[in-house]
Amino acid sequence: MKETMMLYDLKNKGNIEKTHIIRSLFGYTDKSNHGGYTYNRDGLLSKFKHEKIDKSVIVVNRKDEARVKNILKKFGLNPMVIRLPEKRH
């Protein structure tokens, strides 16, 4: 399977903006009524098969590369794209 590694930088973002971006991308667990109810909120990347390698590194299928790159650019991020070689079995 052809994969692409994307690296993005959150250094120039404030804490509130970083939290908003990460939650929007990966989703989060929302608790209401003092923890009485729990809701899993999906992120934008939940539609795509992805793997979070490190804080700001994700690996996606190459066919989804353009869509994920556009999502990152909407948040003002300029991702570095590295195309990984195919895995040999």
Block means of pLDDT (10 residues each) for the chain, 89 residues, are 92 93 92 89 90 93 91 92 85
pLDDT at 88: 72
* Tokens matching residue 13: 């973002």
pLDDT at 83: 94
pLDDT value at residue 89? 67
**CA R_g for the chain:** 15
pLDDT of residue 80: 95
40 is a domain residue: yes
What is the CATH classification number for the domain harbouring 64? 3.30.70
Strands 57-61 vs 80-84: parallel, antiparallel or unpaired: unpaired
Could you report the per-residue pLDDT of 14-29, keeping only the tens digit for each? 999 999 999 999 999 9
The answer to whether position 89 is within a domain reads no
Q: Which residues does 83 contact at the CB level (< 8 Å), separation at least 6?
A: 2, 3, 4, 5, 62
Residue 77's domain comprises 3-84
- What pLDDT was estimated at residue 33? 87
**Cα–Cα separations (whole angstroms), residue 33 to 30, 37, 39:** 10, 6, 11
**What is the domain count for the chain?**
1
